[in-house]
Structure 1
Amino acid sequence: MRPWIYLGVAIVSEVFATTFLKQSEGFSRLVPTLASLAGYGLALYCLSRAVQDIELGIAYAIWAGLGTALIVLLGWLVFRQSIDLAAIIGVLMIVGGVVVINAFSELEA
């Protein structure tokens, strides 16, 4: 169970860091820049711990897929960025791919 917790923290940390990356305005604002760097550091540390027990491809697919979906959702909800039908379908395909990998792959998770 512990590697999945690490993976969950890695996903949340990466989403946190990416959100502050936008607010850092090209690393020109100190606090959002530090928050972004700290979030990415924690995300990579937790991902490195997760892949000790979860197959690298599986862990990365979950990390990247769910992170992407959450960032698109936050961009829409928090930053009022527009999202069209093609983007929604693309994100659903990414999440669907993660589900297929986890449900049907014979790789050890």
Structure 2
Amino acid sequence: MKGMNGSDLGWLFLGLAIVLELSGTLSMKMSEGFSRLWPSVLMFLFYGISFTCLNYALRYMDMSIAYATWSGIGIVLISAAGVWLFHERLSMVSMLWMLVIVVGVVGLNMSSKAHS
């Protein structure tokens, strides 16, 4: 992609992987245990493309950063989607532990940049 450096491409692919993983997980919920065809098909499609994007992101960034960011942001986003779309409840303790995950991902990213 013209005008983008490797780091930018890594973050672009990682962002796409996160959005697609979120879409796959939402499709999984909507498939109701594989009892609904199209959400089930979409789940496999979204997860497949998500892992492909994550694989491409790993060309441009460290695995520890990519995977921690992918999983950490995914946890927070899918939890928020569960609350917003499916009226699930999150306890204060659950939100605190998610904050710990976010702080860990941010810290990992910051420590990686300090060593670059």
TM over 0.5: yes
Matched, 1:72 2:79: yes
What is the Cα-based RMSD across aligned positions, in Å? 1.1
TM-score normalised to structure 1 length: 0.95
Alpha-carbon contact 2:9-2:60 (below 8 Å) kept? no
> Percent sequence identity over matched residues?
38
- Structure-2 change in CA distance of 1:83 and 1:48 (3 Å): same
Long gaps (5+) in structure 2: 1-7
- In 2, Cα distance between equivalents of 1:23 and 1:107: 43
The equivalences for 1:34-49 within 5 A come to 34-49=41-56
C-alpha offsets along residues 5-38 of structure 1, whole Å, 9 cap, x if unaligned? 0000000000000011011011111010011111
C-alpha offsets along residues 30-68 of structure 1, whole Å, 9 cap, x if unaligned? 010011111101100000000011101110000000000
- Structure-2 change in CA distance of 1:34 and 1:62 (3 Å): same
Matched, 1:29 2:36: yes
Matched, 1:95 2:102: yes
Alpha-carbon contact 1:55-1:107 (below 8 Å) kept? no
- In 2, Cα distance between equivalents of 1:14 and 1:89: 23
The equivalent of 1:104 in structure 2 is: 111
Aligned residues: 108
Matched, 1:7 2:14: yes
- Structure-2 change in CA distance of 1:107 and 1:52 (3 Å): farther
The equivalent of 1:63 in structure 2 is: 70
Shift of 1:107: 5.5
